[in-house]
Chain A
């Protein structure tokens, strides 16, 4: 009884103290890839707005285990980020 109450309390705190956009919630452990499926945005080296979401503050590429991007799309993403870097857009 005591334990479950604690859990609820923790969950509430957890929700408030969300650190990043991609932090997974306690309830749901699996998340679908945000870049595949229908109506997904197109990955392109000119689409700076999209690419910036997948970079850390210091400009490094975020790992797919954090963002839950599929392997195929992560490859595509990193390729287009590197192209944008070459053109000094990122």
Chain B
């Protein structure tokens, strides 16, 4: 099992309950494909530093999980066809740092 960090950027026009469904959908995919979700962070709505596909803002989600190669294949396959996502990034790390959070969600 390898340690991975996964970040998603969803489109701005997303209701709160829709956001939860979106994250749970990808959590299920990880769990189904021999993975284990350790932590989910919500960074909230942030300004993008440059315009991507006519979007100026995006919802950020960060998932820390353990898995194998197949887990990522299935995860990215589902993300490629998802219209509500702007971008995603998977990074392999040696060990998870579950305490430190660089982004805190702003409370409105």
Contact = CB atoms under 8 A, between A and B. Distances in A.
Interface of A: 44-48, 83, 85-90
B91 A88 contact: no
B87 interface: yes
B91 A83 contact: yes
A88 B89 contact: no
Given A87-B7, A88-B48, A88-B52, A46 B102 contact: yes
Nearest to A50: B102
26 contacts: A44-B102, A45-B91, A46-B102, A46-B103, A47-B102, A48-B102, A83-B89, A83-B91, A85-B49, A86-B87, A86-B89, A87-B7, A87-B9, A87-B60, A87-B87, A87-B89, A88-B9, A88-B48, A88-B49, A88-B50, A88-B52, A88-B58, A88-B87, A89-B46, A89-B49, A90-B49
Majority DSSP secondary structure for residues of A touching B = loop
A47 B102 CA distance: 6
Interface residues of B, number: 14
A12 to B, nearest CB: 40
Contacts of B91: 45, 83
A48 B46 CA distance: 13
Contacts of A44: 102
Given A88-B9, A90-B49, 6 more contacts: A46-B102, A46-B103, A85-B49, A87-B7, A87-B87, A88-B52
